[in-house]
């Protein structure tokens, strides 16, 4: 949620910067019109309430003096009727203003590359050379199906498209990957959390999935409950409507959860494999920080995510997304993309975002500054990493000509010393 006071002061600046995210200037005008209407109604209502209090005092005085108060009583009835109408108008206008404001994305940081598509994103650095083979590499789904560790066909029978069964060594590999990630994040100071997987609408609103992105999630019919699209939702809402003790900041939380997404707008994209699923595992990182520390914490969070890829020996690059390609709540996002040999390109495996105070305003998460004044915290979130995509990258980058897959060394202790996945040892 943006600060309406700042929009009032700098409407042209907000129009300019939000315009880089595809927001039409008329949306800002509409918000300011509703804001003015609300404030005018509030002033009129408050004046009438003061007048009603004054008339009530006059009536009480008249009654004490045994004087006729008929005129004052009639006047108070008229004022009361007008106040009731104003309060109804105020409720309506506040709801309309809130609806407009809740659909405006976060203001991009001034240093974010300007552009409406991913083409304007800027590469920060590369690590590792793209994996090369002396044979034609297979897509990860073919590697997995040939080894009998991934079964998309039976998952489609049981659940539908974009679901998968992990089998034998495939299930062990997935488990090894997320346990390794959680252990690494614990070393970096994150507190591991096992959160709820179903949340209410207030939580979805707090992290800004609602109201704009309701079509992207799975909701429980007849209930105010939603399957989480990411652990960002329950982790960030942990402190909703609270004041975090200043001495606790920064707070680092991490969680492994399943994530559920309808992928409503992705028809025809990544219809095979583990890249775009309706259900997948992800290790999430969330931070609560003081405003002055949040961008340093963004760089640290990005390093936490790339550390996983470094230790797995997977080639990747880091890019700063353009203003129009960031998520709704982000002020700046670093995307990490891992090399996928069969596709001959980098694919996203993590997004690390600084939301500044955008989510904290929606969720009312605050702390007290050095003067004891309440301020909104800054929230950050990042994938550390998307587990299925990491498994896909391992299958493609560590595949061998005979169809086996070498296990990265750091994962072998999590797989009881297994060095390769073959048809023979897939149990």
Q: Which residues are catalytic?
A: 261, 276, 348, 351, 389
3-state helix, strand, coil in the chain (%, to 5): 45, 20, 35
Tell me whether residue 307 is annotated as binding.
no
Residues 327, 322: Cα–Cα separation, whole Å:
10
Residues 286, 271: Cα–Cα separation, whole Å:
30
Tell me whether residue 67 is annotated as binding.
no
Tell me whether residue 383 is annotated as binding.
yes
Tell me whether residue 215 is annotated as binding.
no
Tell me: cis bond preceding 385? Omega within 30 of 0 counts: yes
Please report, to the nearest 10 degrees, the dihedral formed by the alpha carbons of residues 366, 261, 188, 325 taken in order: -80
423-to-169, 346, 401 alpha-carbon distances in Å = 10, 28, 13
Tell me whether residue 294 is annotated as binding.
no
Tell me whether residue 292 is annotated as binding.
no
Residues 188, 223: Cα–Cα separation, whole Å:
38
- For the record, the structure tokens of 367 come out as 């702390």
For residue 106, give the nearest of 365, 381, 358 by alpha carbon: 358
Q: Are 329 and 105 in contact (CB under 8 A)?
A: yes
For residue 397, the tally of other CB atoms under 10 A from its CB is 25
**DSSP-H helix ranges across 65-217:** 70-102, 140-147, 152-158, 169-187, 201-206
For residue 1, give the nearest of 251, 317, 212 by alpha carbon: 212
Q: Which helix (H) or strand (E) holds 233?
A: helix 232-236
- For the record, the structure tokens of 276 come out as 């775009």
For residue 239, give the nearest of 381, 383, 379 by alpha carbon: 379
Tell me whether residue 349 is annotated as binding.
yes
Residues 21, 196: Cα–Cα separation, whole Å:
32
Tell me whether residue 351 is annotated as binding.
yes
Tell me whether residue 381 is annotated as binding.
yes
For residue 394, give the nearest of 409, 405, 380 by alpha carbon: 405
Q: Are 99 and 61 in contact (CB under 8 A)?
A: no
Tell me whether residue 348 is annotated as binding.
yes
Based on DSSP, count helices (H) and strands (E) in the chain, helices before strands.
12, 17
Q: Are 237 and 391 in contact (CB under 8 A)?
A: no
25-to-11, 18, 22, 30, 332 alpha-carbon distances in Å = 9, 8, 9, 9, 21
Tell me whether residue 267 is annotated as binding.
no
Query: Which residues are part of a known binding site for ATP?
Result: 261-263, 348-351
Query: Which residues are part of a known binding site for L-serine?
Result: 230-232, 261, 284, 381, 383
């Amino acid at each position: 949620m943006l600060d309406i006071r700042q929009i009032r002061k700098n409407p042209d600046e907000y129009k300019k910067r939000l315009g880089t995210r595809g927001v039409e200037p008329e949306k800002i005008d509409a918000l300011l019109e509703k804001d003015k209407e609300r404030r005018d109604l509030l002033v009129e209502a408050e004046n009438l309430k003061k007048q009603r209090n004054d008339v009530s005092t006059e009536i009480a005085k008249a009654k004490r003096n045994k004087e006729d108060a008929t005129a004052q009583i009639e006047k108070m009835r008229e004022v009361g009727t007008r106040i009731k109408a104003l309060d109804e108008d105020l409720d309506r206008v506040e709801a309309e203003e809130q609806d407009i404001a809740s659909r405006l994305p976060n203001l991009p940081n001034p240093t974010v590359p300007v552009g409406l598509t991913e083409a304007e994103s800027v590469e920060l650095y590369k690590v590792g050379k793209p994996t090369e083979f002396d044979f034609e590499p297979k897509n990860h789904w073919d590697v997995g199906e040939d080894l009998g560790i991934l079964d998309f066909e039976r998952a489609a029978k049981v659940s539908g498209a974009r679901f998968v069964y992990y089998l034998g060594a495939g299930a062990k590999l997935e488990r090894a990957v997320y346990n390794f990630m959680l252990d690494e994040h614990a070393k970096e100071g994150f507190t591991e959390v096992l959160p709820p997987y179903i949340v209410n609408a207030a939580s979805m609103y707090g992290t800004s999935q609602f109201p704009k992105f309701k079509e992207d999630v799975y909701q429980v019919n007849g209930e105010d409950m939603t399957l989480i699209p990411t652990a960002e939702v329950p982790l960030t809402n942990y402190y909703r409507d609270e004041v975090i003790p200043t001495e606790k900041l920064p707070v680092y939380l991490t969680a492994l959860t399943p994530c559920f997404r309808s992928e409503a707008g992705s028809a025809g994209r990544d219809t095979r494999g583990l890249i775009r699923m309706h259900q997948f595992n992800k290790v999430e990182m969330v931070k609560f920080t003081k405003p002055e520390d949040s961008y340093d914490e963004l760089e640290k969070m990005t390093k936490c995510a790339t550390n996983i890829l470094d230790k797995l020996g997977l080639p990747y690059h880091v890019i700063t997304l353009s203003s129009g390609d960031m998520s709704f709540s982000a002020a700046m996002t670093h995307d990490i993309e891992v090399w996928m040999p069969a596709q001959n390109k980098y694919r996203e495996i993590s997004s690390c975002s600084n939301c500044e105070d955008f989510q904290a305003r929606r969720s009312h998460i605050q702390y007290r500054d050095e003067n004891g004044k309440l301020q909104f915290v800054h929230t950050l979130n990042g994938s550390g990493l998307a587990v299925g995509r990491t498994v896909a990258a391992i299958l493609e980058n560590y595949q061998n000509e005979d169809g086996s897959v070498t296990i990265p060394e750091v994962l072998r202790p999590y797989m009881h010393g297994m060095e390769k996945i073959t048809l023979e040892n897939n149990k």
